[in-house]
Structure 1
Amino acid sequence: MDIIPLDHDDDVMLKELFGVATRSESVSRVQPIQRTEEEFLKMVRFQFPGERQEGAVAVVDGSPVGWALVFFPERDNLDKCWSHVEVDPQHRRQGVGSALVEWLEERARAAGREMLLAEVFVPVGDRQSHADREFALQRGFSVSSVEIVRSLPLPVEPQVMDHHERRAAEAMGDAYELSVYVDGVPHELRQGVCDASNRLILDAPTGDVEFEPESMTVEDYQTMLDHQRDTGRTVITAVAVHRETGVVAAYTDLSVPTGDPHVVFQWGTLVLPEHRGHRLGMAVKVANLRELARLAPERRSVQTMNDEQNPWMVQINKDLGFAIIEEALTMKKSFLAG
C-alpha cells in the first residue's frame, strides 16, 4: 500500500475516489448522502477562501482504496484542523485507515496545529460501542461532543406550520421584519448574515473544544454562492431584521442538492443573543420551510444536526417534527505541534 498526494487535476483518480466514497458512505451512514459524480468532483476541488485543503490517497495495486482530507483554517482557529477519512468497505481492517490517520497527524503537526478534529457517525444507541468510534479511540482521539442528526418528513402538516408561525408572529410583534431569499440575500443584508454566521461556532455548544469566531467576508459569501450554483444546489435563506437597528437578528439556510432528489440539508441557524426570546429561530425556520414547499414540493425530508447540549434549537426541531436518525461524534486528538 502506498499513500500518495491527492491530485485535484487527475480526473481518473477522482472518479475512482467517487466510487470509494459512495461505497464507504453506504455502509457508514444511516441515511447515506447521494451525490452525482460531477457534484463530488466539484466539491473536492473547491477550496473555500481562508481555508487550505490537503488530501492523500491510499493505493493498492494501482487503485485507490481510501482517502483523507485535512482542512486548515488560515484566518482564525489557527491551532486546529478538521479531517475526513473514508476507506472502501472491502479494504477495511487492513491498515488503510491507520495509515491515512498517520498521514493526517503528520500534516497537522507540519502545519503547527495542536488539535485534529473529525466526525464519526453512528446509529442511535451505538455511541459507546461502534467500531468507528473504537478505531478513533485506539488512535488517541477522544469524544469532545455529540450532535444529534434528525430528519423532518415533508410536507410538514399545515396545522403544525400555522400554529408555530402564529406563535412566532405574536412573539415578534412589529419589532422584526421577516424575509426569504433564494440563492443569496441582497447585498445590504450580506454583512449582517456573515456576522451572524461567523459567531455560530461560538454560540452553538462544542463540548470541551473552544473556538474563535470565524471570518467569512461578504466576498467569501459570494464565492460560496457561486460554488453552490456551480454544483447545481439551491440555497434558501430566511432572515429576521430588527427594524429599529437594521441588524440581522436571526437567519437560517437550507441547501437543496441535485444529486439526491428527495433530501434537503439544514445548514446554520442563529439568533443573536440580544434578540433571543422572541421565537425568531422558529420564525425563520418556518418561513424557509414554506419557501421550500413552494420551490421544491417533490422533496421528502430535511436533515439537520444539533449538539445534544443545545436545548433551544433541539426543541424547535422537535416541535416541527424532526425525528432522530443517527448521532455524530466529534472526535479530537490534541498534541504538541512540531
Structure 2
Amino acid sequence: MTHFDIVPVDPSDPSLVESWLAAQEAVHEHDFQGLRPFNPHQVLVGLVVHDPDSRREHWAAVCDGQVLGYLGIALHDRDNTHLAGFQLGVHPASRRRGIGSALLRHAEERALEDGRTSLTSWVDLPSEHSPDVRGDGGPFLIAKGYQRSLEGALRVCELAAVDDDALDRLWDESWKRAEGFELTVYHGVPNQRIIEGVAYLHARMYTDMPRGDWDLQEAAITADTVRAWERQRLQRGVLNIQAAVIHKESGDVAGLTEIHVQAGDERHCLQGDTIVDPRYRGHRLGTILKIANQRRLCSMRPWMRYVWTGNAVANTHMIAINESVGYRLAGANAVFQKKLGSPSA
C-alpha cells in the first residue's frame, strides 16, 4: 500500500494545484472519453469562487508532492442540509493501492462531522452508447455500502446536424397549442417582472422530476437565490442563456429553460433546468422553450457545436422533447447513495 497524506488543496500552492489538476485531467482522459470534455478553467475557478448554496471542500491524496487522487465535497447549507455530495477519482497510474477507499472514508468522516445523514455521488458509467467510457465507479461504491438510487441518461445535441426545417415545423405546430402564452428570452439575472416566478419553478425541479430513491428533498429558492447564482456565474465566467414562457392572463411564469456556456469551452455547453408549471402543461411549452433557447444559443455563440443534457431514465416526457429537437443518447450515469451510520471499513 502506498503511503500518502490527504490534504486540503491550497489555492496558493501552485505545484499542488498543478498536480491536482493534472490528476483530474488524467482520470477524464483515461475513463471518460467521448463525454463532455474536461474543463480545467471551471475546476480552477471553483477553488476560489464561493458557492452560495454549499460549502465546497477540495482534498488531494499526496505522495512525494504528487497528487494520486482527489476528492470534492459539497456540504449543502441552503436546503437539503441532511445531504452531502462528493466526487472522487484516482490517477490511472495509482489505482488498487487503497487511495480511493481512503478518500471515500474521508468523505464519509467529513459528512458525519458536519451532521449529514446521506452521502451521494453522480457517477458516469459505461454503456453501449459511450463505447470509449472505461471508468466505472459503481461496483466500488456498491462494495462500500452504497445503493444505486437513480438511473440517468446522457444526451447530446450536435447543433450542426439539427434539421432546421423539421424544427420550424415543430415550432409552428407547438404554438398552435400555446395560445395565451408569450415567450421571453434573456441572459443573466431575470427582470423584476418574472424573477419570483423563475425562483418558484427552479424550486419545483427538486420535487417534480423523478428522483427514484435519491434522498433529495424540497428546495428553498427565492429571488435572492437566483440573483446569487447569477453573481457566481459572472465570477466563474459562465453565460446563462435563458427562455421563459409567460401566461398572459395571470402573468405567471409558466415554464423556463437555460443553457450554461462555460468559460474555457466554446464547443461544448450544458443544458440546465427545464420545467413547465403543472398548471400549464399540455400546451407544448417545453418544446417551445427548448427550440427558442437552442436558437438563441446559436445566435449568441455561432461556433458552439454541442449541447449536453442529462435526465432521469424515468423522465420519458422530457426525453421525448429533447429527442424531438435533436438530442441523441450518448451515455449513462446514476446516483449512488449511502445512509450514514459509520464510515466505510
Q: Give the TM-score band, short-chain normalised.
A: over 0.9
- Are 2:62 and 2:69, in contact at CA under 8 Å, matched by a contact in 1? yes
* Shift of residue 210, structure 1, vs aligned partner: 3.9
Q: Out of 83, 86, 93, which is 1:90 matched to? A: 93
Asked if residue 287 in structure 1 is aligned to residue 292 in structure 2, the reply is yes
* Shift of residue 171, structure 1, vs aligned partner: 0.9
Q: 1:320 to 1:166 in 2, by over 3 A?
A: same
Unaligned runs of 5+ in 1: none
- Are 2:199 and 2:225, in contact at CA under 8 Å, matched by a contact in 1? no
Alpha-carbon deviations, 1:222-260, whole Å to 9, x = none? 232233233332211000111122111100000112322
Q: Out of 149, 153, 178, which is 1:172 matched to? A: 178
- In structure 2, the partner of 1:189 is 194
- In structure 2, the partner of 1:99 is 102
| Cα distance in structure 2, aligned partners of 1:87 and 1:323 | 30
| Cα distance in structure 1, aligned partners of 2:135 and 2:188 | 38
Alpha-carbon deviations, 1:84-125, whole Å to 9, x = none? 112211112221111100000101111111110001101224
* Shift of residue 35, structure 1, vs aligned partner: 5.2
Asked if residue 159 in structure 1 is aligned to residue 165 in structure 2, the reply is yes
Amino acid in structure 2 at the alignment position of 1:301: Y
Amino acid in structure 1 at the alignment position of 2:171: E
Asked if residue 59 in structure 1 is aligned to residue 65 in structure 2, the reply is no
1:243-262 correspondence to structure 2 within 5 Å: 243-262=248-267
Asked if residue 303 in structure 1 is aligned to residue 308 in structure 2, the reply is yes
Unaligned runs of 5+ in 2: none
Asked if residue 318 in structure 1 is aligned to residue 318 in structure 2, the reply is no
Q: How many residue pairs end up in the alignment?
A: 336
Alpha-carbon deviations, 1:248-282, whole Å to 9, x = none? 11000001123222112101101111111111111
- Report the more deviating stretch, 208-217 or 325-334: 208-217
Secondary structure of 1:45's counterpart equals: coil
- In structure 2, the partner of 1:233 is 238
| Cα distance in structure 1, aligned partners of 2:15 and 2:41 | 13
Q: Out of 118, 121, 134, which is 2:121 matched to? A: 118
| Percent of aligned positions that are identical | 27
| Cα distance in structure 2, aligned partners of 1:141 and 1:230 | 35
- In structure 2, the partner of 1:50 is 53
Secondary structure of 2:79's counterpart equals: coil
| Cα distance in structure 2, aligned partners of 1:147 and 1:332 | 14
Q: 1:312 to 1:219 in 2, by over 3 A?
A: same
Alpha-carbon deviations, 1:192-233, whole Å to 9, x = none? 111111110211111112432222332332232233233332
**RMSD over equivalenced CA pairs, Å:** 2.1
Amino acid in structure 2 at the alignment position of 1:274: R
- Are 1:123 and 1:325, in contact at CA under 8 Å, matched by a contact in 2? no
| Cα distance in structure 2, aligned partners of 1:219 and 1:12 | 38
* Shift of residue 310, structure 1, vs aligned partner: 0.5
Q: Out of 269, 272, 280, which is 1:264 matched to? A: 269
* Shift of residue 32, structure 1, vs aligned partner: 4.5
Asked if residue 336 in structure 1 is aligned to residue 341 in structure 2, the reply is yes
TM-score (norm 1): 0.93
| Cα distance in structure 2, aligned partners of 1:323 and 1:126 | 9
- Report the more deviating stretch, 156-165 or 129-138: 129-138
- Are 1:36 and 1:259, in contact at CA under 8 Å, matched by a contact in 2? yes
* Shift of residue 75, structure 1, vs aligned partner: 2.9
- Are 2:242 and 2:259, in contact at CA under 8 Å, matched by a contact in 1? yes
Amino acid in structure 2 at the alignment position of 1:50: D
Secondary structure of 1:318's counterpart equals: helix
| Cα distance in structure 2, aligned partners of 1:152 and 1:126 | 14
| Cα distance in structure 2, aligned partners of 1:145 and 1:203 | 14
Asked if residue 209 in structure 1 is aligned to residue 192 in structure 2, the reply is no
| Cα distance in structure 2, aligned partners of 1:30 and 1:325 | 11
- Report the more deviating stretch, 308-317 or 231-240: 231-240
Amino acid in structure 1 at the alignment position of 2:203: N
